[in-house]
Amino acid sequence: MTAPTHIAFAVASALIGGVESKTVIGLIAGGALLPDIDHPQSAIGRVFFFISYPLNRLFGHRAFIHSLVLWLPITLLGFFLWSPLGWIGLGAISHSVIDCWNLSGVSLLHPITEKTFVLAAKKYRLATGSRSEFILMMVFGFIAWGSGYIGSQGGIRSMLQAFLGDYTMAKESYEREGLKVCYMEGKIRLPNGMIEEGTWLIIGTDKEKDSMSIYDKQSQKIIHIPDQAKFLKAKLKTTDKQWQAVKLNEPAELKEGTAYFKPLKKWYIAKPGDVISGYVIHQGNITLSPFSL
């Protein structure tokens, strides 16, 4: 296989596997080129010809430098000692595996055995640089693009949740976001049977009661789910903003700003002049002063 095909396969595999870090993807892509350093005419061999020629004379092509006997220990040691080496090793392993689709196959266990490993019967294997390999590279590239798009949308689970509009899945996704400011978009049914559609700021959840508190901007009140309303359809919307949080051991008076606080089980909104206690979250600056009767 040529360098673009190896990179496309490695990146597609990484993204499907849930890798999100661009640095890690880069290490895997770079590692996917390494085994071909035993071929002086390969992309990496031409750059590092002073290494490639001696390796080729010593081991040949698609033998020990392509072997799992070399790359598997490097990968395992890398993850134990220095993780970048582990990711590079995974990229190299992906190279050796996809090369088994070549006409000549690969000696995956060299020097333990000289046996050649292949992924398919000869008529289904590909010649390096052929039209069939180009089509395969395009397929891997499309898979990589699709996997990257899915990752940007929060993964398959998040896309499934958005499609189904399931409240429980949306709530679980929110709880994994930590202190990130999030919104819930969808439809709620009020106790009187009225249905409202909109987007609400999520204040917090209570795992013990499986509840959620959302802020209704129109009424400027907090709605407690499921006590005061139930979601018929829900979609989580995340932002890049973070809540600022503080734990108050004593009651305090809010002098400036807006805050949300949870003294016991439920969340409340506080404005200047209100007394707050317990767990407090806010955006922007707030001013507190000790409260005394």
Burial (CB count <10 Å: 0-12, 13-18, 19+), residue 126: buried
Q: d(Cα 21, Cα 84) in Å, to the nearest integer?
A: 12
Is residue 158 in some structural domain?
no
Mean pLDDT by 10 residues, the chain (293 residues): 90 81 90 94 91 92 93 95 94 94 90 90 86 86 68 55 74 88 94 93 81 91 92 90 92 93 90 93 91 71
Q: Which residues of 159-171 are buried (b: 16+ CB within 10 A; e: fewer)?
A: eebbeebbbebbb
Shared-domain flag, residues 128 and 15: yes
What's the predicted TM-score (pTM) here?
0.57
CA distances, 117 to each of 67, 106, 113, 178 (Å): 11, 5, 11, 47
Shared-domain flag, residues 193 and 144: no
The predicted structure's pLDDT at residue 196 = 93
Is residue 226 in some structural domain?
yes
Per the structure, the complete domain to which residue 184 belongs is given by 163-239
Shared-domain flag, residues 114 and 204: no
At a CB cut-off of 8 Å and minimum separation 6, what does 51 contact? 37
Shared-domain flag, residues 53 and 145: yes
At a CB cut-off of 8 Å and minimum separation 6, what does 243 contact? 179, 180, 181, 281, 282, 283
The predicted structure's pLDDT at residue 257 = 92
- In 3-state terms, the chain is what percent helix, strand and coil (to 5)? 40, 30, 30
Shared-domain flag, residues 115 and 8: yes
Per-residue pLDDT reduced to its tens digit, 27-44: 999 999 999 999 999 999
Q: d(Cα 244, Cα 70) in Å, to the nearest integer?
A: 49
CA distances, 161 to each of 143, 169, 179 (Å): 21, 6, 21
The predicted structure's pLDDT at residue 29 = 92
Per-residue pLDDT reduced to its tens digit, 50-63: 999 999 999 999 99
Is residue 84 in some structural domain?
yes
Shared-domain flag, residues 171 and 96: no
| Tokens 């001696």 found at | 54
DSSP secondary-structure letter at 84?
A: H
Spell out the long-range contacts of 70-74 with Cβ–Cβ below 8 A and sequence spacing 24 or more: 71/35, 71/96
Instruction: Give the total number of structural domains in the chain.
Output: 3
Helix (H) or strand (E) holding 161: helix 156-164
Q: d(Cα 86, Cα 88) in Å, to the nearest integer?
A: 5
CA angle 122, 9, 75 (to 5 degrees): 100
Is residue 76 in some structural domain?
yes
The radius of gyration computed from the CA coordinates of the chain, to the nearest angstrom, equals 28
Shared-domain flag, residues 147 and 112: yes
Is residue 157 in some structural domain?
no
